Amino acid sequence: MDEVPEARAIPDSTLREVVESADPAWELREATPAERGFCSVYRLAVADGDTTRRLYLKASPDGRDWAVPTEARIQAVLRAHTSIPVPEVVAVTDAHETLPTPHYLMSALPGEEVAYERVGRLADDALERLARETGQYLAELHSVPAVESFGHARHSGPELTGERPAGDPADLTVSEPHDDWPTYLRERVDPELDRHADSRFSDLTPELTRWFEAGIASLDGPFDPVLGRNDHGLHNLLVDPETGEITAMLDWGYTLAVPPAYDFEFAVYLFGGAFLSGLADVSDRRSLVREAMLSGYRAVAPNRAESVSTPEPVYEALAMVRIMNDFEHLDLPDGTEPAVMDRIRADARALLDR
């Protein structure tokens, strides 16, 4: 796995060049760095005649790809072919002699950034709405005709220098494509189990390894590759936390081509808050989330809903393993880590004992 860099600071003079390369009539008025992952992200106020545009710049931190160009194309496809609330991509620059690239400019959307862990404390009605809308948007995403094999989503369209991407699904492809889903799934599980052996839950690694081997072997197809969001969590959304309305789905660089059920199960586990239910004031709401997501999914894609209707423990377990692997990144109240770990371990044990 590539070592993740730190976001680099971009001088105001360079930010002005980025804005003017997208549209010479635009003038940068204000720029503020935003804390969003390891890429360099800036909130921009741009004068466009008598109006002010609110934009975001997202740039590679070190000149490497980091799926930044693909993310821009995916958002353009979703904007053109679905109702998923994604920012409008107004300019992409894949390579440049002096500017930090790859980068793209996108419109700002309304909504509040909410901490990942707050999912456990949303009111039931707000969580239900968030889950239902997630189901609707996943049904739309899974219906985009863009991939025919499994793997990381990538783009195959023309290189851009300050232009808008076309928003054509034909511009999306898959890197190192796999036709056999169980084979590709093993390639995803094995590195996570390697990480798990170095985690605080390493006592479970040998049993999980045997369990996954048997579980993957018993998966029953056929398997239909679709675009899968995969990187679920409140941290990648803008929402109204009082109502649960999703106003933006952000960060599409981790998009994979997977079966619909894989993507669905990850969302159920992460939005259901089971990994936080060791806290005294948090409950496991997977059932509420699953029912609401299925309702939303069926409303949009009734002919595909059967593919996500039956829970698949293998996919849920992988979501659980990833939480265990990144446990130290959870923002938990002081003194609660042991209780949360005990609950996650008990949840894993329940899967192993099925």
Model pTM? 0.95
Q: Determine contact, residues 324/197, Cβ cutoff 8 Å.
A: no
CA distance 327 to 322: 8
Q: Determine contact, residues 75/24, Cβ cutoff 8 Å.
A: no
Burial grade of 135 (CB within 10 A; 0-12, 13-18, 19 or more): buried
Q: Which two tokens stand for residue 118?
A: 């707050």
Looking at the structure, do residues 307 and 226 belong to the same domain, yes or no?
yes
Q: Determine contact, residues 244/288, Cβ cutoff 8 Å.
A: no
Residue that finishes a domain, picked among 107, 138, 166: 107
Q: Determine contact, residues 105/55, Cβ cutoff 8 Å.
A: yes
Q: Which structural domain range is residue 80 located in?
A: 12-107
Q: Supply the CATH number for residue 299's domain.
A: 3.90.1200.10
CA distance 74 to 252: 7
Looking at the structure, do residues 227 and 81 belong to the same domain, yes or no?
no
Looking at the structure, do residues 328 and 238 belong to the same domain, yes or no?
yes
For the beta sheet containing 246-249, the strands, ordered from the edge strand earlier in sequence to the opposite edge, are 112-113, 237-239, 246-249
Nearest to 137 by CA among 26, 244, 271, 229: 229
Bridge partner list, 125: none
- Is 159 within the bounds of a domain? no
| Prior bond of 222 cis (ω within 30°) | yes
What is the tally of structural domains in the chain?
Answer: 2
Q: How high is the pLDDT of residue 179?
A: 96
Looking at the structure, do residues 38 and 122 belong to the same domain, yes or no?
no
Task: State the pLDDT confidence band at 4, using cuts at 50, 70 and 90.
Answer: confident
Is pLDDT at 190 greater than 70 in this prediction? Answer: yes
Looking at the structure, do residues 46 and 99 belong to the same domain, yes or no?
yes
- Is 152 within the bounds of a domain? no
The predicted-structure confidence for 104-138, as pLDDT tens digits, reads as follows: 999 999 999 999 999 999 999 999 999 999 999 99
- Is 267 within the bounds of a domain? yes
CA distance 348 to 350: 5
Q: Determine contact, residues 269/230, Cβ cutoff 8 Å.
A: no
Is pLDDT at 1 greater than 60 in this prediction? Answer: no
Diameter of the chain measured on Cα atoms: 65
Q: Which two tokens stand for residue 76?
A: 């353009």
Is pLDDT at 2 greater than 80 in this prediction? Answer: no
The predicted-structure confidence for 25-79, as pLDDT tens digits, reads as follows: 999 999 999 987 789 999 999 999 999 999 999 999 999 999 999 999 999 999 9
The predicted-structure confidence for 251-264, as pLDDT tens digits, reads as follows: 999 999 999 999 99
Hey, which bits of 235-295 come out as E strands? 237-239, 246-249, 256-258
Q: How high is the pLDDT of residue 6?
A: 80
The predicted-structure confidence for 235-249, as pLDDT tens digits, reads as follows: 999 999 999 999 999
Looking at the structure, do residues 308 and 324 belong to the same domain, yes or no?
yes
Looking at the structure, do residues 41 and 134 belong to the same domain, yes or no?
no
Is pLDDT at 157 greater than 80 in this prediction? Answer: yes
Task: State the pLDDT confidence band at 277, using cuts at 50, 70 and 90.
Answer: very high
Q: Supply the CATH number for residue 73's domain.
A: 3.30.200.20
Bridge partner list, 258: 226
Q: Which two tokens stand for residue 97?
A: 């002699």
| Average pLDDT score, the chain | 96
Percentage of residues of the chain with pLDDT beyond 90: 95
- Is 325 within the bounds of a domain? yes
Looking at the structure, do residues 216 and 97 belong to the same domain, yes or no?
no
- Is 3 within the bounds of a domain? no
Q: Locate tokens 């968030």: which residue?
A: 130
Cβ-based neighbours of 122, under 8 Å, separated by 6 or more: 130, 241, 244
Looking at the structure, do residues 31 and 128 belong to the same domain, yes or no?
no
Q: Locate tokens 């949303």: which residue?
A: 122
Q: Determine contact, residues 256/172, Cβ cutoff 8 Å.
A: no
- Is 173 within the bounds of a domain? no
Residue that finishes a domain, picked among 55, 89, 107: 107
Provide the sign of the torsion angle of the four alpha carbons 283, 286, 292, 296, taken in this order.
Answer: positive
CA distance 191 to 318: 11
CA distance 61 to 4: 9
Question: What's the chain's Rg over C-alpha atoms?
Answer: 21
Looking at the structure, do residues 200 and 231 belong to the same domain, yes or no?
yes
- Is 234 within the bounds of a domain? yes
- Is 171 within the bounds of a domain? no
Nearest to 106 by CA among 62, 164, 166, 157: 164
Is pLDDT at 221 greater than 90 in this prediction? Answer: no
Nearest to 186 by CA among 217, 163, 147, 165: 217
Q: Which two tokens stand for residue 167?
A: 């928003």
Looking at the structure, do residues 89 and 126 belong to the same domain, yes or no?
no
Q: Locate tokens 């985009």: which residue?
A: 144
Percentage of residues of the chain with pLDDT beyond 70: 99
Looking at the structure, do residues 72 and 129 belong to the same domain, yes or no?
no
